[in-house]
Amino acid sequence: MLQHRITVHLPSIGSLIRHAGTPLLESTLVPLALFWVLFTQAGFDAGLFAALGWSGLAISRRLVLRRRLPAVLLISTGLLIARTAIGLWTGSAFFYFLQPTVQNFVFALALLLTLGFERPLLAKLADDFCPFPEALTGHPRIKRFFKRVSLLWAFVFLVNGATTLCVLATQTVGNYLVVSTAGSYTMVVMGIALSLWWFRRSLAGEGIRLRIGAAPAVV
């Protein structure tokens, strides 16, 4: 079999970072930061409403501008609504943060349950972070890759869930936010690095070369 018969060009590193960073900021980092600031300055309820208000604003802004709603933003907002209701009902920061801890196990289960789908959940979420060409996402080997790498990410979420649950049960809210955020993103970065290596290897096995950056202009 001839190697490198096809070259697939993805956007530049800067473009990929911007594309991936926007949903991450909107759905996770900004709500978390707003909760902590309002929690320390105005109390628990203020932190709840600040985080939820930001997510509602992010969705409304995209609707007004007629932009695509990332799946990760919709999922995180739905979960945040449930977290806010639990937080208001119990008045407990422990139960408020218990849900995102438990949702690691829920995501792991969802990844495993969608393995039998034509496009598993992980493949759909990947669209929010990196716009793959249709010729690439429809390739049989790439479909198999997303099914297999879903097992890796199920493991990542399971480890994340077990770790954050332990920290939540033994640390203060402030320490929990610092330790769980640092630990979670370390696991995620390691998972991304391994996934990218696996992805390139899968492409190479089919004679597909992956290049970062725009395709050269045709003269």
The rounded percent of the chain whose pLDDT value lies above 70 is 75
Beta bridge partners of 7: 209
Q: Compute the distance between CA of residue 157 and CA of residue 190 in angstroms, rounded to an integer.
A: 12
Q: What is the pLDDT of residues 62-92, one digit of tens each?
A: 888 888 777 777 888 888 888 889 888 988 8
Q: How high is the pLDDT of residue 155? A: 92
Q: How high is the pLDDT of residue 21? A: 65
What is the reported pTM? 0.66
* pLDDT for 123 beyond 50: yes
Q: How high is the pLDDT of residue 131? A: 60
Residue 173 corresponds to which tokens in the numbers above?
Answer: 């809210």
Residue 180 corresponds to which tokens in the numbers above?
Answer: 């769980």
Residue 74 corresponds to which tokens in the numbers above?
Answer: 């919709």
Q: Is the dihedral of CA 143, 144, 148, 149 positive or negative?
A: negative
Among 147, 156, 146, 162, which residue's Cα sits nearest to residue 188? 156
Q: What is the pLDDT of residues 129-161, one digit of tens each?
A: 666 666 566 666 777 888 888 888 999 999 988
Which band of pLDDT confidence, cut at 50, 70 and 90, is reported for residue 1? Answer: very low
Q: Compute the distance between CA of residue 146 and CA of residue 66 in angstroms, rounded to an integer.
A: 29
Residue 48 corresponds to which tokens in the numbers above?
Answer: 């709840």
